[in-house]
């Protein structure tokens, strides 16, 4: 993907809403690791996938700046549909809430801060769509957690599953790369799900649960 081709794509898809463009700019100026922000192209895809799936309950594991969160909420069609998003880093709370206050979809989003296992025990909810974009070392644990809280026929979207191409680099042995490889291997071998990896940005895996978890 060249810069010219990426710019061509951005010019030929739906425009980035102003409040999200502002959020993207602030993420790059004020936060560490701004590359973690989903951005224009992936944000429009997330919205489109939500429109296609038409979920009532959406869960996001890993809020970061809240860009993807707002895109997920933007795609909701049902009047009672809602997004629960969980972020473990409470230092991001002020930034996230500042931008949610400027968002037209804020009323459809509930921000939860803390450990995902504990929070999901409290929420006692089953989800139609779960988006995983959290610590890569723990992707296997997040996968098991997501399946346990996913309705049959529901979808998991997992970000960063190509991990800068490191998944095919035999010299890459860092914990994050190993976490992504283990996740990819587990998903590929799991008969309970259908799966496909999209080579978008850093890799996005679309997973459909076809049978209840044992």
The answer to whether residue 214 scores a pLDDT higher than 60 is: no
Residue 1 banded pLDDT, cuts 50, 70, 90:
confident
- Residue linked to tokens 């602030």: 26
Mean pLDDT of 24-32: 97
What integer pLDDT is reported at residue 17 of this predicted model? 98
Closest by CA to 117, choosing from 180, 189, 59, is 59
Mean pLDDT of 34-54: 97
Mean pLDDT of 11-39: 97
Mean pLDDT of 196-208: 95
Mean pLDDT of 50-62: 98
Positive/negative CA dihedral, 194, 87, 135, 138: negative
The answer to whether residue 207 scores a pLDDT higher than 60 is: yes
Give me the DSSP letters along 109-145.
EEEEES-HHHHHHHH---EEEEEE-S-GGGHHHHHHH
User: Chain-wide mean pLDDT for the chain?
Assistant: 96
The answer to whether residue 91 scores a pLDDT higher than 80 is: yes
What integer pLDDT is reported at residue 211 of this predicted model? 64
* DSSP letter, residue 164: G
143: CB partners within 8 A, 6+ apart: 132, 156, 158, 183, 186, 187
Domain chopping of the chain, boundaries: 3-209
What integer pLDDT is reported at residue 212 of this predicted model? 58
Write out pLDDT tens, residues 120-149: 999 999 999 999 999 999 999 999 999 999
- Residue linked to tokens 């010299």: 171
For domain 3-209, the CATH superfamily is: Vaccinia Virus protein VP39 (3.40.50.150)
Q: pTM for the full model?
A: 0.96
């Amino acid at each position: 993907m060249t810069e010219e081709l990426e710019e061509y794509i951005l010019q030929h898809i739906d425009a980035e809403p102003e409040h999200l463009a502002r959020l993207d700019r602030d993420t790059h100026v004020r936060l560490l690791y701004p590359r973690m922000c989903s951005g224009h192209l992936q944000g429009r895809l997330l919205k489109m996938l939500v429109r296609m799936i038409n979920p009532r309950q959406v869960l996001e594991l890993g809020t970061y700046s809240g860009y993807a969160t707002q895109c997920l909420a933007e795609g909701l069609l049902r009047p009672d549909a809602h997004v629960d998003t969980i972020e473990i880093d409470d230092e991001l709370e002020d930034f996230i809430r500042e931008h949610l206050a400027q968002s037209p979809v804020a009323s459809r989003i509930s921000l939860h801060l803390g450990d995902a296992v504990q929070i999901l025990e409290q929420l006692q909810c089953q989800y139609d769509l779960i988006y995983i974009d959290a610590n890569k070392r723990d992707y296997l644990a997040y996968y098991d957690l997501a399946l346990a809280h996913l309705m049959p026929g529901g979808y998991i979207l997992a970000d960063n599953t190509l991990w800068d191409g490191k998944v095919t680099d035999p010299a890459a042995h860092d914990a994050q790369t190993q976490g992504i490889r283990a996740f990819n291997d587990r998903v590929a071998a799991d008969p309970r799900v259908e799966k496909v990896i999209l080579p978008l940005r850093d890799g996005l895996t679309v997973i459909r649960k076809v049978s209840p978890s044992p």
